[in-house]
Amino acid sequence: MSLQIESLLIHGGVDGDVTTGAVNVPVFQTSTFKQDGLGKTRGGWEYARSGNPTRDAVEKLIADLEHAKYGLAFATGLAAINTVLSLFKSGDKLVVSDNIYGGTFRILDNVFNNFGITYKIVNTSNPKEVEDAIDENVKAVYIETPANPLLTITDIKAVSDIAHKHGLLSIVDNTFLTPYLQRPITLGADIVIHSGTKYLGGHSDTLSGFVVVNDKELADRLYYLQNAIGGVLAPWDSFLVIRGIKTLGVRMDRHIENAKKLAKWLSESGYVDKIYFPGLESDSGYEIQKKQADGPGAMISFVLKEKYDYRKFFESLKLITLAESLGGVESLVCHPATMTHAAIPADVRKQVGIVDELIRFSVGLENVNDLIEDLKQAIENSIKE
């Protein structure tokens, strides 16, 4: 029976435990497995870095959700990214979205760069810029959409088509929308990456990362690298992410409902100079976003009018928490220039529009009127002297 996404969230992957009938996948808190003789394993399990049944369940689940064949789970989103970047070798180059997660920029710029793997930053929302950046060393296009923190939208199908025309891999970080809203593999992407720390886990209590692919050869190579590098997701954390994913649909629906109301309020409030939210018809990415995803997500970025001091704004918030991360049940705000995107040099930040005044808001599941009230009082208390 082919299930819709709401049912897959609850029954996808491995549904419960066949031996006991437990409705949840057990936590196999074990590092190794007994062999009945040399090479005689029970079901192929040998050592938990190579495979563990709880991790296997979450890996099958994320693959099902992305409408793909193979999933791999990692200790963090960056461990997943590290493993994907390890597909490349010295001399290879990647074309990368101009606003991406700061940690992705950092690992490219300060880790893989040292191994001779280079990158070129372009505005991937304009597919022509992607095509123009391709030379004989480029082996992949790496995008985020909506991108962090400006929520820029890139046309996944257009960019994947360009990548394939030139024999390159198309890699998409799908953290901000999750497979509930967007399934890049079905739009032509070769590799999908997630920080499961965000919406998938959903409760700001577990770090995790995922890689999803449809191609067997690519899956085999990534599995080899996952085991060789070793940044795997622990059994207990695998269980927590499976538990989080069960409510992803209802959480996302409410996240979006709150975000739409808040974005509308903010844009009409007279408090902001700029607002970035792909769910607003006025947003430059609105049409493509609508075409390729089932919703705009719940991340909003904005710049307050000149007369307000963003430092005071952060200090005046009472309900909304100033913290790194996103995608949890609670509303979080952050200051990209000094927090999530501090690893990006100031001149690069400026070039791509991550101004010092930018505020990023992960809209949570609280009552939306409480959130509006908190924003309002914090903004009004932040007027410059």
Q: Catalytic: 55?
A: no
Beta-bridged to residue 322, according to DSSP, are 333
Our measurement of the distance from residue 180's CA atom to the centroid of its chain's CA atoms, rounded to an integer in Å, reads 12
Question: What is the spatial distance between Cα 145 and Cα 189, in angstroms, rounded to a whole number?
Answer: 12
Contacting ligand PLP within 119-148 (CB under 6 A): 144, 148
Q: Which of 17, 49, 274, 290 is catalytic?
A: 49
Total count of residues recorded for the chain: 385
State how far the Cα of 204 lies from the Cα of 148, in Å rounded to an integer: 18
Q: How far is the CB of 207 from ligand PLP (least distance, A)?
A: 5
Tell me the C-alpha distance between 204 and 156, whole Å. Answer: 28
Strands 358-362 and 332-334: antiparallel
Say which of 55, 60, 93, 198 is annotated catalytic: 198
Q: From the list 51, 127, 184, 209, which residue makes contact with ligand PLP (rule: CB under 6 A)?
A: 209
- The minimum distance between CB 77 and ligand PLP, in angstroms, equals 2
Q: Using CB atoms, what's the residue nearest to ligand PLP?
A: 77
- What sign does the CA torsion over 64, 66, 68, 74 have? negative
Identify the residue among 45, 70, 101, 310 touching ligand PLP (CB under 6 A).
101
Per CB under 6 A, which region of 13-21, 65-73, 97-105, 365-373 contacts ligand PLP?
97-105
Which region among 100-108, 258-266, 277-285, 345-353 touches ligand PLP (by CB under 6 A)?
A: 100-108
Residue in this structure with the two tokens 């927590």, named with its chain if needed? 240
Pick the binder of ligand PLP from 154, 197, 301, 331 (CB under 6 A).
Answer: 197
Known active-site residue 49: yes
Contacts of 183 (CB under 8 A, 6+ apart): 65, 66, 67
Q: Among this protein's residues, is 198 annotated catalytic? A: yes
Indicate the residue among 76 and 267 with the shorter CB distance to ligand PLP.
76
Sign of the CA dihedral running 92, 97, 99, 104: negative
Residues 21-80 touching ligand PLP, rule: CB under 6 A, are 76-78
Catalytic residue among 56, 155, 173, 190: 173
The distance of closest approach from Cβ of residue 293 to ligand PLP in the complex, given in angstroms and rounded to an integer, is: 15
Q: To the nearest whole angstrom, how small is the minimum distance from the Cβ of residue 321 to ligand PLP?
A: 16
Which of 56, 60, 93, 101 is an active site residue? Answer: 101
SS3 state at 219: helix
> With binding defined as CB under 6 A, does residue 378 bind ligand PLP?
no
Q: Which candidate, 125, 133, 141, 130, places its Cα nearest to that of 88?
A: 141
Decide: is 182 part of the binding site for ligand PLP (CB under 6 A).
Answer: no
Complete edge-to-edge strand list for the sheet that includes strand 299-304: 272-276, 299-304, 358-362, 332-334, 321-322
Q: What is the Cα gyration radius of the chain? A: 21
Residue 75 or 218 with smaller CB distance to ligand PLP: 75
Q: How many chain residues touch ligand PLP (CB under 6 A)?
A: 15
| Catalytically annotated residues | 49, 101, 173, 198
Site residues, ligand PLP (CB under 6 A): 76-78, 101, 103-104, 144, 148, 173, 175, 195, 197-198, 207, 209
